[in-house]
Amino acid sequence: MKKFVLSLTMLPMLAMGQTLDECQQAAEKNYPLIRQYGLIEKTTELTVANIQKGWLPQVSAQAQATYQSDVTAWPDEMKMMMNGMGIDMKGLTKDQYRVGIDVQQTIYDGGVIGSQKAIAREQGKVQAAQNEVNIYHVRKRVNEMYFSLLLIDEQIKLNVDLQTLLAGNESKLESMTKHGTAAESDLQNVKAERLNVVQKATELASQRQMLQRMLSTFCGMEVKEVRKPVLSVAEVLQQTGRRPELKALDAQIDLLNAQERALNAALIPKVGVFAQGFYGYPGLNMFEDMMHRKWSLNGIVGARVTWNIGALYTRKNDKAKLQLQRDMTENSREVFLFNNNLEQIQQNENMARYRQLMARDGEIIALRQAVRKAAESKLAHGIIDVNDLVREINQENVARVQQSVHEIEMLKEIYDNKYTTNN
């Protein structure tokens, strides 16, 4: 019962049709790229988590067996002296074995891990910003289909009115033909014109179906009807938006700054502790191993300070490369703003032109309508022929079509301007 009541409440909304904003929001949510946001976020989280593990102890296990050409040994004089004392000094064997574990723990890395995490996060922001740019372009495609559908609907309405007007004149001529006041060819002329308009209606209906299906597929919902947008003057004049392309360029600058901070971190000395343990022969007690030749457990612990001055060799060039990339990014910003400004100039000029055209459309239609009615009266009195009437009917229809085109194109320019300025 609740579902039934809900369906009834939605019927007026469906009858009114979808607005352009509703279609744009639906299209953005339906566009496959929207799933990239979640994938980018998860990838960034995994990358940062892996980098963070750099603070965990680094453990490595190793086993080795070697055979040496020579080993540490007692001098012959000392060996003879030991033998004289009854001590058998065998010395080390040339085959040696070791199984061990090395453990290293970073205590201070100079900010390397932190800078790596910052770079990973900024890379994720760059990818998300670029994805936002791609999704933002969806609005432009929705605008094209939406206003094309609006224009087709207006043409269909005018086509119906034209059919009605021609059918009325056809009925009058049919009566006049029966009474001998009009020729059969006049009736056939108007009828043929009406059938041409019917054919045009078929073409318009086919075009509308194609556009409606395309827009519905793009939005991920069935769009049966569309509503003509109504904008206030304040909305048209607003130009305070910010395009996602500029945010993407800002994200690239932030990434370059993070990479420069990583260069600085690479120059700072690192502090860590380590531990090494192994079981093998020979061990650390060389004298004991010379006498007994047996495997033993051995271990070393200590602290280490390292400073890789090799980063100095390429630092100047690396910073120069980053600055060049900044310059290229800023140049891309200037190019985008330049082209965006040209688009706004063109759109503002188009809107001004359509305002001027629309100011005369009503007057032209009124005049054409008056001329057409006069032509109908003249035809009834035999002053003009049917060709003159058909011409005036078509002229009035052209004026009405032009009014609809100007109005829809004006609305399209306004929304294109909103897209250009991101308002």
Lowest-pLDDT choice from 40-49, 68-77, 292-301:
68-77
Answer for the pair 198, 156: CB distance below 8 angstroms, yes or no.
Answer: no
pLDDT confidence bin for 236, thresholds 50/70/90: low
Q: What is the DSSP letter of 57?
A: -
| 240 pLDDT above the threshold of 90 | no
Query: What mean pLDDT is predicted for residues 224-249?
Result: 75
Sheet (strand 58-67) strand order: 58-67, 95-108, 270-281, 296-306
% of the chain beyond a pLDDT of 70: 93
385-414 pLDDT per residue, tens: 889 999 999 999 999 999 999 999 999 999
More confident residue, 188 or 310: 188
139-168 pLDDT per residue, tens: 999 999 999 999 999 999 999 999 999 999
pLDDT confidence bin for 12, thresholds 50/70/90: very low
Which three-class secondary structure state does DSSP give residue 54?
helix
pLDDT confidence bin for 15, thresholds 50/70/90: very low
Token pair 């309405």 is found at: 157
Using CB atoms within 10 A of its CB, is residue 11 exposed (0-12), middle (13-18) or buried (19+)?
exposed
pLDDT confidence bin for 287, thresholds 50/70/90: confident
Dihedral-angle region of residue 103 (phi above 0 means left; psi in -120 to 50 means alpha; beta otherwise): beta
Query: What mean pLDDT is predicted for residues 280-298?
Result: 86
Query: Which candidate, 256, 261, 258, places its Cα nearest to that of 332?
Result: 256
More confident residue, 308 or 238: 308
Pairing of strands 270-281, 296-306: antiparallel
Write down the mean pLDDT value for the chain: 88
Lowest-pLDDT choice from 23-27, 89-93, 192-196:
89-93
CA 131 to CA 28: how far, in whole Å? 11
CA 395 to CA 365: how far, in whole Å? 9
What's the count of helices (H) and strands (E) in the chain, helices before strands?
11, 4
- Using CA of residue 282, residue 284, residue 290, residue 293, what is the dihedral sign? negative
What is the structure's pLDDT at 11?
38
pLDDT confidence bin for 331, thresholds 50/70/90: very high
What is the structure's pLDDT at 85?
76
| 338 pLDDT above the threshold of 90 | yes
